[in-house]
Every structure is written in structure tokens, then in C-alpha cells.
Amino acid sequence: MATLPLATLGIGLLAVWSLFVGVSDVSLATLFGGAPDQATQVLLVSRLPRTLALILAGAAMAVSGLLLQMLVRNRFVEPSTAGTAESAIFGMMMVSLLAPEMPVFGRMAVAGLCALAGTGLFLAILRQVPLRSPLVVPLVGIMLGGVITAMTEFIAFRQDMIQSVRGWETGDFSAILLGRYELLWLSAALTGVAYLAADRFTVAGMGRDVATNLGIDHRKVMALGLVIVSMTTAAVIATCGMIPFLGLIVPNVVSLVRGDNMRGSLPWVALMGAGLVLACDIAGRLVIHPYEIPIGTMMGVIGSALFLYLLLRRNGHAG
């Protein structure tokens, strides 16, 4: 489809723009004229890793939101409204407390296991709650996430770790440097796995009975999807912190145009997620330049407004 290459080109232009926005003077003039060594160092060590991290994290979290919505069969669910992200932060905090020397990959693995456990608890609670409205599902997730966050912050306060927890709760790419973002390539690989299994996830999203009748092992597909969502969320939080509402907004917007076929919509979700994160990060660097607003704050404002719009739009159609 001709519009997909155009969308990719648009993301590429945003990425190029991101390389030249910041406090340090990095421009074509400095790269090839005034102070080429310093400008090149800033570009390769800071700006390029940051831009790649933005693209990888944005695409991965948007796809995770789409995948979780398909598995739970609810359009208002994403890692930050299902207890997944909060559980990953709890895992990061416990690793920092009990095994501070653990390498970053081990931290991500523990955080991923905690995220998987938290998501499993969310699904178990849903099976016990009468779902008279689709809005009950995200409310249950938000309440579960609030309980997990309260427990995390209580322990962190007692152990003088509240600043670290706050850092994981608020997405921020300002500290991304070469050697501190590579974990996100794992999330890109998991996104590729999600694309390869997209048809199975689409069938699983129709319910256990339909999936079984079509020869799909519903339990295994659900397990694979939850592992992808949990490990992707853990990788993003371990690298740059939580990016709220991204996995909720992007899949909903894409589904309005592309429908619910995951294989057809997943590339659009990934591109739009990367583009939205790039745009928010660039805006955060420009609004109060030379300072910057963390992307978690930017996405919180934009995402909450769009979330309310989607809620009102759904209620309007229901009426």
C-alpha cells in the first residue's frame, strides 16, 4: 500500500529532526565545519542512540498494547492499565534492593517475570468479576496497578529508593547514551515474533471456543502473547521508564481505519507508536528549551486527553 512507505518516510524525517534537536549545537555546519569532532561525538554517543531508543520503545509499546487488547478482548487495556507496567517496576525495585550487582539483562528478566505474574493476576481477577461494561476491565487494571504501586512505593520509601522508583514511573530519554539502550533491540525482536504469530493472535482474540474450533491451541497462544507483552514492557521500563497510554491510544486510532486484523494493522501500529514518541520527545525538548519535559509527562497529558476522547466517543456511539 502506497501510504505505508509514505508513513515510513515521515518517521524517517522525524528521526532526522530528532538528531539535531538539543542543547549541544549539532548541525550540518558544526559536523562539517566549526567543531566537527565534538559535534560528531555528541551525534554518535547521544543523539543517535536516543533516536533509535525512541523508535524502538515507541513501536514496541504500541504493539504490546495492541497484543494485550487482542488477548483480553477489550479496547481500553494496555500495559499501564493492566498492572503489567507497575509489576515490572516492582520487579526492578526488588532487584535493586536484593541484588544490586545483577547485570541489566538479569534485571530485565526479573522485571519481565514480575510483569507476567502481574498480568496473570489481572486476568485471574477478570474471571471472577462480572463484566457488565467494557470499562470495568481497565478500571480493574488501574485499581490493581494502584495497589502494586502503593506497595512498591512503601517499600521504596522505607529503603530510601523512592527516587529510583519515580524514575522508572516516568519515561525519560535524556539519559540514553551509547551502551545504555541496546536492550531495546530485544523488544524489537519480540515485536517481530508478534508479527509472525499475528494470525494466531487474531484468532485467539475471537475467544477460546472459536480458536479451538479453528485448530489453535488457545492456552499456548495466550501464554506467548503475555510473555511478549511482559518482556517488552520490562525492557522499555529498564531502559527509559514507563510511557503511559501509548499502547492504548495508538491501536485504537489504527483500528478505526484498518480494522481488527492484527497482521494488517501491526505495521501501522508500530510506525504510529514510533512517530508519536518521536514527536512528543521533540516537543518536550523544544517547549522549554534549553531544558526539556520528560516524555512520560508529555504522553501523560496527550494520552489522557485522547483516552477521554475515546471514552466519550464510545459512549456517544453506544447512546
Rg of the chain taking only CA atoms, in angstroms: 20
- In the chain, the percentage of residues whose pLDDT exceeds 90 is 29
Burial class of 124 by CB neighbour count within 10 A (0 to 12, 13 to 18, 19+): exposed
Q: What is the mean pLDDT of residues 19-34?
A: 75
* Range(s) of the domain holding residue 240: 29-314
pLDDT computed for residue 101 by the predictor: 87
- Domain contains 95: yes
> Tens digits of per-residue pLDDT, 36-94?
677 788 888 889 999 999 999 999 999 999 998 888 888 888 888 888 999 999 999 99
Residue with the larger pLDDT of the pair 26 and 189: 189
Residue 301 pLDDT level (bands cut at 50, 70, 90): confident
What tens digit of pLDDT does each residue of 269-286 get?
Answer: 999 999 999 999 999 888
Number of domains forming the structure of the chain: 1
Looking at residue 318, what is its pLDDT? 43
Q: Tell me, what's the pLDDT at 197?
A: 86
pLDDT band at residue 1 using 50, 70 and 90 as cut-offs: very low
- pLDDT confidence tier of residue 116, bands split at 50, 70 and 90: very high
Q: Which of 116, 55, 57, 107 is nearest to 83 (CA)?
A: 116
pLDDT value at position 319? Answer: 41
Predicted confidence band of residue 35 (pLDDT cuts 50, 70, 90): low
User: Is 64 a domain residue?
Assistant: yes
Nearest 5°: CA angle at 57, between 56 and 60? 80
Write the CA distances from 216 to 116, 168, 183, 212, integer angstroms: 22, 37, 32, 5
Each residue's pLDDT tens digit, 222-252 = 888 889 999 999 999 988 888 888 888 899 8
Indicate whether 19 belongs to any domain: no
The answer to whether residue 5 sits within a structural domain is no
How high is the pLDDT of residue 54?
A: 93
Q: Answer yes or no: is pLDDT of 171 > 70.
A: yes
- Report yes or no on 15 lying in a domain: no
Please give the residue that has the higher pLDDT: either 13 or 289.
13
User: In this predicted structure, what is the pLDDT of residue 232?
Assistant: 92
Quick check: is 16 in a domain? no
Per-residue pLDDT band for 6 (boundaries 50, 70, 90) equals confident
**Has residue 8 been placed in a domain?**
no
List the CATH number of the domain containing 162. Answer: 1.10.3470.10
Grid cell locating 297: 509527562
| Residue 111 near residue 238, CB atoms below 8 Å | yes
Q: What is the pLDDT of residue 288?
A: 86
Query: Where does residue 7 rank: exposed (0-12), middle (13-18), buried (19+ CB within 10 A)?
Result: middle
Q: Which of 61-65, 95-99, 204-208 has the lowest mean pLDDT?
A: 204-208
% of the chain beyond a pLDDT of 70? 95
Question: Is 118 part of a structural domain of the chain?
Answer: yes
* Mean pLDDT on 119-130: 87
CA distances from 62 to 56, 94, 103, 122, 244 (A): 10, 27, 27, 20, 10
Task: Give phi and psi for 170, each to the nearest 5.
Answer: -120, 115
For 315, the grid coordinates are 459512549
